Homo-oligomer: A and B are copies of this chain.
Amino acid sequence: MRPTAFLVVTAASMASIAAYTAHAAGQTDGKPAPIFVTQIPPGYRDFTLISVAHEEGKLNSLGAVLGNDVAVKAYRGGTLPCPDGTIIAALHYTHSPPEENDRIFGQAQSFVPGSPTNIQFMVKDSQKYAATGGWGFGHFGPDGKPGAEALLKTCFPCHAREKARNLVFTHYAP
């Protein structure tokens, strides 16, 4: 099986990415077109598992990637580009060794979700998010507040590298 790639959170952390200009490019009638997801999609915690991910380094993240019914149907059917209505949610936590597991094992070897760090979303709406490849990108802290615009501007340029998979890095885990 081809390994699942997952870079949503990391895309946001890449400092070397060129400035993102779609915000200006997406302006219509003097009003900027929406490019970011500003509301947490309701019911996302009940979405279906797409995959899981572990990021080492500064992120030290353990996460799950979930999809709504449209997303999961597209994944399972190999549908590309992802249809409008697709929502992909990435739930991130610290990568934490629980003491209770260490006691059982006699050593630290087990890692589980610690504190939630953020939830990130990709929402497909080819009209609304035309300026960013049809995808709206969202980032919300554990308090539910959206991430800063400077952070969100880093999502699209990185995801745009995955043209062959309609800007989606995460593969489906069987």
User: Chain A interface (Cβ within 8 Å of chain B)?
Assistant: 1-7, 10, 14, 45-49, 51-57, 59, 62-64, 66, 91, 93, 95-98, 100-101, 104-105, 107, 109-116, 158, 161, 169-171, 173-174
Contact = CB atoms under 8 A, between A and B. Distances in A.
Given A101-B7, A158-B104, A112 B53 contact: yes
A114 B158 CA distance: 23
13 contacts: A3-B96, A3-B114, A4-B98, A5-B98, A5-B100, A5-B101, A5-B112, A6-B112, A54-B62, A54-B112, A56-B109, A104-B158, A112-B170
Contacts of A104: 7, 10, 14, 158, 161
Nearest to A56: B109
State the oligomeric state as a number of copies: 2
A110 B6 contact: yes
A49 to B, nearest CB: 5
